[in-house]
Amino acid sequence: MIETTNKTKLFGILGTPVAHTLSPAMHSFMAEQNKIDMAYLAFDVPPEKLGDTMRGVKAIGACGFNITAPHKICVMDYLDHICPEAQHMNSVNTVVNRNGVWHGFNTDGNGYCESLLLEGHEIKNKNILMMGAGGSARSLAFTLAKSGAKSISITSRSMEKIHIIGEMVEHYTETIFYDTLDKAKDYDIVINTTPVGMHGAGDSGNPCGFMDLIHENMVCSDIIYNPKETVFLKEAKKRGARIHNGLGMLVLQGILAFELFCEISLDHKRTYEQLMHLFDYYRI
């Protein structure tokens, strides 16, 4: 049971579904470690209730929220200020109340890139293929490009979404657009940003249609963390590729969001290791 006082600050996560989110456990752990009086709760908010919810949390003086699907774009309509990177991505995953002014940020891309680096995978001068062109792909592509990726190729059924990402990163790196996977050639990093393979998503298949091109010098990454090894990652592992799941991204985007919530700086590597150990203990 969460112990609260009349000074406890309210934070949480807004999205749907959120029944299995790890964010409350993660932020509660960081709050305890840093002796911060806060409560972090999960709120299941359907799209038609987002406006009412945002007006309500503003009225009660809540302090901030993580934003998950499907609200990362629509929530921007209810904010007073959006940081330049989130504005460029057209996607917000963290909102913070600072003296009554609601600010929007996006920590997804930085969390993902930092998780790659912490696990020993380089980004600079690498050729990257991304499967999917949704909201997560936008933030990842933008941050990977700014981190020095040599090229980013994108494959999706929506050419419109692909071109949006291409325009977003064109000043930072070369972008190549594919509407079918069989045009893919040789890459250093292959990333699945789609929900294919996610537990409970109704599709446990493999988003990658060119597994014969996977090799042992390649990094295969999936932003899904439940299950820890998707069909894509299992198949890549069989072929000798190094694999990287989405748990590290979840943890590091959470650390970055917590810093924004509380206006403090954490030791990222130490906190990352603590949270990964916590989730391993609970077999998450």
Q: Is 214 annotated as a binding residue?
A: no
Is 72 a catalytic site residue? yes
> Does 56 count as an annotated binding residue?
no
Q: Are 180 and 155 in contact (CB under 8 A)?
A: yes
Share of residues in the chain with pLDDT > 90 (%)? 69
223 is in an annotated binding site: yes
CA 159 to the chain's CA centroid: 22
Q: In terms of C-beta density within 10 A (0-12 exposed, 13-18 middle, 19 or more buried), how is residue 271 classed? A: buried
Lowest-confidence pick of 48-52, 234-238, 257-261: 234-238
Average pLDDT value for residue range 95-110: 98
* Per-residue confidence band for 42, with pLDDT thresholds at 50, 70 and 90: very high
Strands, E assignment, the chain: 9-15, 38-44, 64-67, 81-82, 94-98, 101-105, 127-131, 151-155, 174-178, 189-192, 219-222, 242-244
pLDDT category, 162, cuts 50, 70, 90?
A: confident
| DSSP letter assigned to residue 78 | G
Q: Which of 1-5, 34-38, 215-219 has the lowest mean pLDDT?
A: 1-5
pLDDT of 200 strictly over 60: no
193 is in an annotated binding site: no
Given the residues 72, 126, 161, 183, the one annotated as active site: 72
Residue 66 annotated as lining a ligand binding site: no
Q: Long-range CB contacts (< 8 A, 24+ apart) of 85-89? A: 85/109, 85/142, 88/142, 88/168, 89/138, 89/139, 89/142, 89/168
**Residue 108 assigned as binding residue:** yes
- Is the pTM here over 0.75, yes or no? yes
Q: How many CB atoms lie within 10 A of CB 25?
A: 16
Does residue 207 register a pLDDT over 90? no
* pLDDT score recorded for residue 171: 83
pLDDT at residue 184 in the model: 52
More confident residue, 217 or 260: 260
What is the distance between the alpha carbons of residues 174 and 27, in angstroms, rounded to a whole number?
A: 37
Confidence of residue 133 (pLDDT cuts 50, 70, 90): confident
For residue 245, say whether it is annotated as part of any ligand binding site.
no
Q: Which pLDDT band holds residue 7 (cuts at 50, 70, 90)?
A: very high
**Does residue 204 carry a pLDDT above 60?**
no
Q: Which tops the pLDDT comparison, 205 or 173?
A: 173
Cis peptide before 46 (omega within 30 of 0): no
> In the numeric block, which tokens belong to residue 31?
């709050």
